[in-house]
Amino acid sequence: MISVYFPRLKKYTLCGFVVLLAACGSSSRQGPIDGVKVGNSSNLKDMVPASQLEASATRQYNSMKQKASQKNALAPDNHPQVIRLRAIAKKILPHAYAWNPESQAWKWEVNLFISDEVNAFCMPGGKIAFYIGIIEKLKLNDDEVATVMGHEIAHALREHARDRIAKAQLSNLGASVLSSALGLGNIGGQALGQGLQILGLSFSRADERDADLVGMDIAARAGYDPRAGISLWQKMGQLSKEKQPEWLSTHPTGDSRIYEIQKNINEALFLYARAKNTTVDKLPNYKP
């Protein structure tokens, strides 16, 4: 249960709500000054306590692991793909902290679930999950796995879940304040309290673009080829012609994703080349 308490809520005016919205909507600088150019993150998320959200995410993640384990659907630590995923995460994570310094204290986990679903996610607090379906059906190489992992980690680093929940709460608050100002009473009620299911939480197109770019940045710094984002989305596009994967149900796809990657590829290639101790002009052609 995530809730935010505003004292003397009934005394807020509509003007006061607008001031609150403007203050919460301001942005703050995050991330390194070099590399892929990404917009600032919103301070709106500060309405939602990070500690509560991360605790809720941990409970859901642990429950998911427990249920999977009971069905023999949680891959053991010695599973080759678990070893592979954790090795990739070990290379990526040191480059993630610049995007969110508090993430260095998170209790990061990487687990693999035995399911045909084409899916992966990273919950608030660094709880990463891959479904074996996304690896096997798309035949992902390490660069493509790093692209998926970077994207999902970026959602957690940029705290998109906090932002989405805050917007929902603020929207409910706005309706309450407006109705009070108009003398209509507390239409809808319970504006600030809500049950929270982080799994399945959908992000906006802006969030997805943000995660694409931040994920590409941190994966490239870790030595993974950012051109893998193009081959990944080409594979996704081909698979979606047969049946839309679960991962795509909340992720916009199509040429626009590839376009954004290509538009920012030069900055990412510079980071990748630097990680490989070479220059962009000496990089070999990418082969998926």
pLDDT (tens digit, 9 = 90+) per residue, 239-269? 876 555 544 555 555 678 888 999 999 999 9
CA 273, 276, 282, 287 torsion-angle sign: negative
Q: Is the pLDDT score of 194 beyond 60?
A: no
Q: Is the pLDDT score of 180 beyond 50?
A: no
State the catalytic residue, choosing from 54, 109, 144, 152. 152
Query: pTM (2 decimals)?
Result: 0.79
Q: Which of 134, 116, 140 is nearest to 231 (CA)?
A: 140
Q: Which of 94, 82, 85, 152 is nearest to 123 (CA)?
A: 152
Q: Which of 110, 58, 65 is nearest to 88 (CA)?
A: 110
Which whole number is the average pLDDT over 126-155? 97
Cβ pair 126, 108 in contact under 8 A:
yes
Q: pLDDT tens-digit profile of 195-220? A: 345 555 667 788 888 899 999 999 99
Is 246 among the catalytic positions?
Answer: no
